[in-house]
């Protein structure tokens, strides 16, 4: 029997201004709740897929991160959500992209995996499928977030003044990876993408092999950061490939991939777990919201409060 383990992340952090210091305790409480909820499933003998899905549910719903109710706004003032999930035991995967009415995008991704032979559905087609699957459908206003709307208005005004359409770096994508006591791995990722992303832009989060990957032979991974670079390098699959063909450890492979992306000009992080329960949480941003839990130890790592930044 394996040591069940859950690892979660709440996104790469590029600057202290990315998060509200006054809500520090809220960030930590929701990360802890996601970690505890997912781990309880594993500790009771439940599957890695369930732990990943339910941990991400909490992070989508809480409104604190760039996923679900915390999603940032596109250049034209909409929220478009992406998510993916993968089963390491059989390499099945599912994803949705650019959805606006599915309450739980990560659950829609799992339905794609389990109830179609496709991997990725997008936009209105994904929403129609989710409705057929009796998943909860909401009005787009359900996801409205006054904090992110205020941010959008400010950034849009600045972009219009400069007469350029350029995304800012907000990357608090959420994700989870898990090992259950049957030795199966699973990974999932959910996001609202980038601030001011252009019409129909899709990042790495719903792309299997870029933002999400799981294979019982090696590891399960969820990425966060500048998604275009993770797509261009097939970042998640590349970690698996380095472990498989170069004999690298998870720590070596994940750090090497992030270093390669950094040399290209991209920044981010990832969480990973191997089939023997080894955990990695590397990043090249200034920090990353993340944590893990197993029967022996637990950690929830948060960006330090401004008062702690010099320590």
Encode pLDDT of 16-45 as tens digits: 666 777 788 888 899 999 999 999 999 999
Q: Is 255 part of any domain?
A: yes
Query: Per the domain annotation, does 281 fall within a domain?
Result: yes
Q: How confident is the model at residue 193 (pLDDT cuts 50, 70, 90)?
A: very high
Percent of residues, the chain, with pLDDT higher than 70 = 92
Q: What pLDDT does 171 receive? A: 58
Where residue 163 falls among pLDDT bands split at 50, 70, 90? low
Question: Secondary structure of the chain in the HEC alphabet?
Answer: CCCCEEEEEEEEECCHHHCCHHHHHHHHHHHHHHHHHHHHHHHCCCCHHHHHHHHHHHHHHCCCCCCHHHCCCCCCCCCCEEEEEEECCCCEEEEEEEECCECCHHHHHHHHHHHCCCCEEEHHHHHHHHHHCCCCECCHHHHCCHHHHHHHHHHHHHHHHHCCCCCCCCCCCEEEEEECCCCCEEEEEEECCCCCCCCCCCCCCCCECCCEEECCCCEEEEEEECHHHHHHCCHHHHHHHHHHHCCCCHHHHHHHHHHHHHHHCCCEEEEEEECCCCEECCECCCEEEEEEECCCCEEEECCCCHHHCCC
What's this model's pTM, rounded to 2 decimal places? 0.94
The number of distinct structural domains making up the chain is 1
In a domain, 300, yes or no: yes
* Local confidence band at 302 (pLDDT 50, 70, 90 cut-offs): low
244 is catalytic: no
Q: How much is the pLDDT for 3? A: 86
Question: What pLDDT shows up at residue 2?
Answer: 74
* 199 falls within a domain: yes
Give the mean pLDDT of 48-67: 96
pLDDT at 166: 53
**Residue 235 belongs to a domain:** yes
CATH number for the domain spanning 265: value is 3.60.20.30
- Would residue 311 count as lying in a domain? no
Task: Please tell me which residue in 173, 189, 191, 212 is annotated as part of the active site.
Answer: 173
pLDDT in tens, 67-76: 999 999 999 9
pLDDT tens per residue across span 135-153:
999 999 999 999 889 988 9
pLDDT, mean of residues 245-273? 97
- Residues of the chain above pLDDT 90, percent: 76
Domain that holds residue 23: 5-305
Judge whether residue 252 has pLDDT over 60: yes
**pLDDT for 233:** 98
The mean pLDDT value of the chain amounts to 91
- Does residue 171 fall inside a structural domain? yes
**Residue 245 covered by a domain:** yes
pLDDT in tens, 83-113: 999 999 999 999 999 999 999 999 999 999 9
């Amino acid at each position: 029997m394996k040591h069940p383990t859950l690892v979660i992340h709440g996104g790469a952090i590029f600057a202290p201004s990315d998060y509200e210091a006054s809500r520090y305790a809220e960030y930590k409480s929701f990360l802890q709740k996601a970690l505890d909820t997912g781990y309880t499933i594993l500790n009771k003998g439940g599957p890695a897929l369930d732990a990943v899905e339910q941990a991400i549910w909490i992070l989508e719903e809480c409104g604190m991160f760039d996923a679900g109710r915390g999603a940032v706004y596109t250049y034209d003032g909409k929220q478009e959500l992406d998510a993916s999930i993968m089963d390491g035991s059989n390499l099945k995967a599912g994803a949705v992209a650019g959805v606006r009415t599915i309450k739980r995008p990560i659950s829609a991704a799992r339905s794609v995996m389990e109830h179609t032979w496709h991997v990725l559905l997008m936009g209105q087609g994904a929403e129609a499928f989710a409705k057929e699957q009796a998943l909860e459908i909401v009005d787009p206003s359900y996801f409205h977030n006054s904090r992110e709307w205020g941010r959008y208005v400010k950034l849009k005004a600045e972009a219009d003044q400069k007469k350029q359409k350029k995304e800012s770096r907000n990357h608090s994508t959420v994700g989870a990876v898990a090992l259950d006591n049957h030795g199966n791995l699973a990974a999932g990722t959910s996001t609202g993408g980038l601030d001011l992303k252009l019409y129909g832009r899709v990042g790495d989060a719903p792309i299997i092999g870029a933002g999400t990957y799981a294979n019982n032979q090696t590891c399960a991974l969820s990425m966060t950061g500048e998604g275009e670079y993770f797509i261009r390098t097939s970042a998640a699959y590349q970690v698996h490939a380095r472990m498989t063909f170069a004999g690298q450890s998870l720590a070596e492979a994940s750090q090497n991939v992030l270093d390669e992306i950094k040399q290209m000009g991209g920044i981010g992080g990832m969480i990973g777990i191997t089939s023997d329960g080894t955990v990695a949480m590397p990043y090249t941003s200034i920090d990353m919201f993340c944590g893990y839990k197993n029967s022996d130890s637990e950690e929830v790592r948060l960006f330090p409060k401004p008062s702690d930044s010099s320590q």
